[in-house]
Chain A
Amino acid sequence: MYLLVILIPLLSAVGSGLGGRYLGRKGAGLLSSVWVLVSSLLSFVLCYEILINGSTVYIELGRWIESDLLITSFGLQFDMVTAVMLIVVTTISGLVHVYSTSYMREDPHLPRFMSYLSLFTFFMLILVTSNNYVQLFIGWEGVGLCSYLLINFWFTRIQANKAAIKAMLINRIGDIGLMLAIILIWKEFGAVDYCSLFPALSPSSACTWICILLTIGAIGKSAQLGLHTWLPDAMEGPTPVSALIHAATMVTAGVFLIIRSAPLFDYSPTATIIVGLVGSLTAFFAATVGLVQSDIKKVIAYSTCSQLGYMVMACGTYSCLSSLYHLLTHAFFKALLFLGAGSIIHALLDEQDLRKMGGIIRGLPLTYVLMLIGSLSLAGFPYLSGFYSKDLILELTYNNYCLISIYWLASITAFLTAFYSFRLIYLSFVSKPNLTRIGAQHLQEADWNLLGPLLVLAIGSILVGYIAQNMVFAPGVRPLPLVPTIVSLAPVIMSVTGILLVFILRPYIIYYTTHPSIYGFLFYAWEFNQIANYYIGSTVWKFGHIVSYRTIDRGILEILGPTGIAQFMVNRTKELSNLQSGLVFNYALMILVGTAIALKYLVVN
Chain B
Amino acid sequence: MSYLILSIVILLIGILGIILNRSNLIIMLMCVELVLLASTILLLFESRVLYTLFGQIFAIIILTVAAAESAIGLAIMVNYYRLRGTIAVRALNLLRG
Give A contacts to B, CB under 8 Å.
577-585, 588-589, 592
- Complex Cα distance, B15 from A592, in Å, reads 8
Q: Is the CB of B93 within 8 A of A592?
A: no
Q: Is the CB of B94 within 8 A of A582?
A: yes
- Complex Cα distance, B96 from A578, in Å, reads 8
Q: Is the CB of B93 within 8 A of A581?
A: yes
Q: Which residues does chain A contribute within 8 Å of B95, judged by CB atoms?
A: 582
Q: Shortest Cβ distance from A577 into chain B, in angstroms?
A: 4
User: Hey, what's the 0/1 contact readout for B80-97 against A, CB within 8 Å counting as 1?
Assistant: 000000000110111111
Q: Is the CB of B18 within 8 A of A588?
A: yes
Q: Is the CB of A580 within 8 A of B92?
A: no
- Please report whether the interface of chain A is mostly helix, strand, loop or mixed according to DSSP: helix
Q: Is the CB of A581 within 8 A of B96?
A: yes
Q: Which residues does chain A contribute within 8 Å of B48, judged by CB atoms?
A: none
Going nearest first, the 3 A-B pairs with the smallest beta carbon separation are A582-B93, A580-B97, A582-B96
Q: Is the CB of A580 within 8 A of B18?
A: no
Taking CB as reference atom, which chain A residue is nearest B20?
Answer: A585
Taking CB as reference atom, which chain A residue is nearest B96?
Answer: A582
Taking CB as reference atom, which chain B residue is nearest A585?
Answer: B19
Q: Which residues does chain B contribute within 8 Å of A579, judged by CB atoms?
A: 97
Partner of A592, one of B19, B21, B94, B97: B19
23 sampled A-B residue pairs with Cβ under 8 A: A578-B97, A581-B93, A581-B96, A581-B97, A582-B92, A582-B94, A582-B97, A583-B89, A583-B90, A583-B92, A583-B93, A584-B28, A584-B89, A584-B92, A585-B19, A585-B20, A585-B21, A585-B28, A585-B89, A588-B18, A588-B19, A589-B19, A592-B19
User: Hey, what's the 0/1 contact readout for B38-73 against A, CB within 8 Å counting as 1?
Assistant: 000000000000000000000000000000000000
- Complex Cα distance, B16 from A589, in Å, reads 9
Give B contacts to A, CB under 8 Å.
15, 18-22, 28, 89-90, 92-97
Q: Which residues does chain B contribute within 8 Å of A582, judged by CB atoms?
A: 92-97
Q: Shortest Cβ distance from A571 into chain B, in angstroms?
A: 15
Q: Shortest Cβ distance from B24 into chain A, in angstroms?
A: 12
- Complex Cα distance, B20 from A583, in Å, reads 11
Knowing A582-B92, A583-B89, A584-B92, say if A577 contacts B15 (CB, 8 Å): no
- Complex Cα distance, B22 from A588, in Å, reads 12
Q: Which residues does chain A contribute within 8 Å of B89, judged by CB atoms?
A: 583-585
Q: Shortest Cβ distance from B22 into chain A, in angstroms?
A: 7
Taking CB as reference atom, which chain B residue is nearest A576?
Answer: B97
Q: Which residues does chain A contribute within 8 Å of B92, judged by CB atoms?
A: 582-584
Q: Which residues does chain B contribute within 8 Å of A589, judged by CB atoms?
A: 19
Q: Which residues does chain A contribute within 8 Å of B90, judged by CB atoms?
A: 583
Q: Is the CB of A585 within 8 A of B18?
A: yes
Knowing A585-B89, A592-B15, say if A580 contacts B20 (CB, 8 Å): no
- Complex Cα distance, B97 from A579, in Å, reads 8
- Complex Cα distance, B17 from A589, in Å, reads 11
- Complex Cα distance, B93 from A577, in Å, reads 14
Q: Is the CB of A577 within 8 A of B19?
A: no
- Complex Cα distance, B97 from A577, in Å, reads 5
Interface centre among A577, A579, A585, A589 (most CB of B within 10 A): A585
Q: Which residues does chain B contribute within 8 Å of A578, judged by CB atoms?
A: 97
Q: Which residues does chain A contribute within 8 Å of B28, judged by CB atoms?
A: 584-585
- Complex Cα distance, B35 from A588, in Å, reads 13
Q: Which residues does chain B contribute within 8 Å of A581, judged by CB atoms?
A: 93, 96-97
Taking CB as reference atom, which chain B residue is nearest A574?
Answer: B97
Q: Shortest Cβ distance from B35 into chain A, in angstroms?
A: 10
Q: Shortest Cβ distance from A575 into chain B, in angstroms?
A: 11
Taking CB as reference atom, which chain A residue is nearest B18?
Answer: A588
Q: Shortest Cβ distance from A586 into chain B, in angstroms?
A: 8
Q: Which residues does chain B contribute within 8 Å of A584, judged by CB atoms?
A: 28, 89, 92
Q: Shortest Cβ distance from A467 into chain B, in angstroms?
A: 95
Q: Shortest Cβ distance from B2 into chain A, in angstroms?
A: 23
Q: Which residues does chain A contribute within 8 Å of B96, judged by CB atoms?
A: 580-582
Q: A585-B21, A585-B28 are in contact. List 19 more A-B contacts (CB 8 A).
A: A577-B97, A578-B97, A580-B96, A580-B97, A582-B92, A582-B93, A582-B94, A582-B95, A583-B89, A583-B92, A583-B93, A584-B92, A585-B18, A585-B19, A585-B20, A588-B15, A588-B19, A589-B19, A592-B19
Q: Shortest Cβ distance from A573 into chain B, in angstroms?
A: 10
